[in-house]
């Protein structure tokens, strides 16, 4: 036997364990063999394997659904983010580590190395001391996003700790995001929060309950700093809806819009309905960022003739005109 190969104990009455009995009823002896093959792989990898169902299925010449079932359905393994291991193996490796300093180092590193040699349950307790969430809160978040916030897949969504628990992450909503199993399994050391990316892409605002308090205060501070002492005569949302080409980074556009003068904002809103008459196909209109940066509302509208108000049928213009009148303003 090679020097770096270790014997691991196999309980002679393993098949009498209730979890194993359930596995046998569903998958038979072939499933039992796959279970022990996974156990061997865990021993060879310091009790830590990625949830790469496709790769494991290929290595063991099985199908992905069977591998998923064996790992997830019988409470035989511990799953943390995109990794999994076995409590039983963890205990055996710790026993073996007392006889080998090299094995001891491996055992301490398998779920993250710290001075307290904390086990997963202890780390989860620490994570929940920092912050926690309820089942209903997670379900609400999953429904809010409705898809993997990284790739857009709507199937097989799982709970991902943005900063993994073994790296000190909390169990609060501010540290959770829905990922599909594939993105979660391939995550590795990535601690990117993909939720803001989703919100920018889908033109929505992330609920404040999903943010850290520091981020909420920072966001509110910026908004107050930008708008304090300055009343915006026309909201960005009015421009956004009237222009009707919703592309670009909304945060940058809002900042640009609020930096304009009241007169510029009014002139823009006067210009857009005429511009849309000349360029009715939105895909050929300038992007909003280009329009604002280049002060395109000052450009001459080639081919535009000012129609008489009686026959002017631009609905956008009429809606805006009515809104301005309601606000006690008039269009020149």
pLDDT tens digits, residue range 253-287?
A: 888 898 898 889 999 998 998 888 888 888 888 99
Is the same domain home to 96 and 144? no
Within-domain flag for 6: no
Weakest-pLDDT range from 35-44, 232-241, 263-272, 322-331:
322-331
Contact 122, 168 (CB under 8 A): no
Is 105 among the domain residues?
Answer: yes
| Torsion (CA) 241, 245, 248, 251 in degrees, nearest 10 | -10
Residue 104: domain span: 14-113
Residues 143 and 101 in one domain: no
Answer positive or negative: Cα dihedral of 69, 72, 76, 81.
Answer: positive
In angstroms, the CA 226 to CA 240 distance is 19
Provide the whole-model pTM.
0.37
In this structure, the answer to whether residues 109 and 136 fall within a common structural domain is: no
State both tokens at 57. 């299925």
The CB density around residue 193, as the number of other CB atoms within 10 Å, is: 18
With respect to residue 121, please indicate whether it lies within any of the assigned structural domains: no
Are 258 and 291 part of one and the same domain? Answer: yes
d(CA 95, CA 73): 28
Asked whether residue 3 is domain-assigned, the answer is: no
Q: Is residue 332 part of a domain?
A: no
Beta bridge partners of 178: 159
Mean pLDDT to the nearest integer, 145-159: 91
How far, CA to CA in Å, does 119 sit from each of 86, 93, 171?
12, 13, 16
When pLDDT is cut at 50, 70 and 90, the band that residue 176 belongs to is very high
Residue 226 token pair: 């930008």
Tell whether 291 and 201 lie within a shared domain: no
For the chain, the domain total comes to: 3
Helix H or strand E encompassing 84: strand 83-85
Name the nearest CA neighbour of 42 among 83, 72, 100, 99.
83
Indicate whether 218 pLDDT > 80: no
Neighbours of 269 (CB within 10 A): 23
Q: Same domain, yes or no, for 182 and 256? A: no
**Where is the domain boundary, 79, 113, 147?**
113
> Dihedral through CA 96, CA 99, CA 102, CA 108, nearest 10?
50
pLDDT band at 327 (very low <50, low <70, confident <90, very high): low
Establish if 104 belongs to a structural domain: yes
Same domain, 88 and 30: yes
Residues 150 and 105 in one domain: no
CATH number for 186: 1.10.30
How many whole angstroms separate alpha carbon 288 and alpha carbon 296?
A: 10
- To 10 degrees, the CA torsion angle through 108, 110, 114, 115? -10
Range list of β-strands (E), 109-215: 157-161, 176-180
Average pLDDT of the chain, as a whole number: 79
Is the domain of 236 the same as that of 321? yes
CATH code for position 92:
1.10.10
């Amino acid at each position: 036997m090679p020097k770096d190969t270790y014997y691991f104990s196999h309980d002679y009455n393993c098949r009498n364990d209730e979890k194993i009995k359930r596995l046998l009823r569903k998958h038979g002896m072939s499933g039992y063999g796959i279970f022990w093959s996974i156990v061997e792989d865990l021993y060879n990898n310091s009790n830590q394997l990625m949830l790469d169902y496709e790769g494991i299925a290929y290595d063991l010449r099985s199908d992905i659904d069977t591998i998923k079932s064996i790992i997830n359905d019988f409470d035989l393994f511990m799953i943390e983010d995109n990794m999994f291991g076995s409590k039983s193996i963890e205990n055996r490796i710790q026993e073996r580590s007392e006889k080998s300093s090299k094995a001891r180092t491996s055992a301490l590193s398998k779920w993250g190395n710290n001075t307290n040699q904390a086990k997963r349950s202890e780390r989860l307790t620490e994570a929940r001391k920092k912050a926690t969430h309820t089942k209903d809160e997670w379900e609400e978040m999953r429904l809010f996003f409705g898809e993997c916030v990284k790739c857009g897949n709507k199937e097989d969504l799982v709970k991902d700790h943005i900063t993994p628990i073994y790296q000190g992450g909390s169990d609060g909503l501010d540290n959770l995001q829905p990922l599909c199993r594939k993105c979660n399994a391939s995550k590795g050391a990535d601690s990117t929060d993909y939720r803001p990316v989703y919100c920018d892409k889908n033109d929505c605002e992330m609920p404040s309950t999903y943010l850290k308090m520091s981020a909420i205060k920072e966001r509110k501070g910026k908004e107050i700093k930008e708008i304090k002492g300055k009343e915006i005569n026309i909201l960005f949302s009015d421009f956004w809806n009237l222009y009707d080409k919703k592309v670009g980074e909304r945060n940058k556009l809002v900042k640009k819009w609020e930096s304009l003068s009241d007169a510029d904002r009014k002139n823009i809103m006067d210009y857009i309905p005429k511009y849309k008459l000349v360029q009715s196909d939105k895909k050929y209109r300038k992007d909003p960022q280009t329009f604002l940066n280049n002060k395109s509302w000052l450009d001459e509208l080639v081919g535009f003739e000012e129609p008489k108000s009686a026959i002017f049928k631009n609905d956008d213009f009429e809606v805006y005109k009515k809104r301005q009148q309601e606000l006690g303003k008039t269009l020149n």
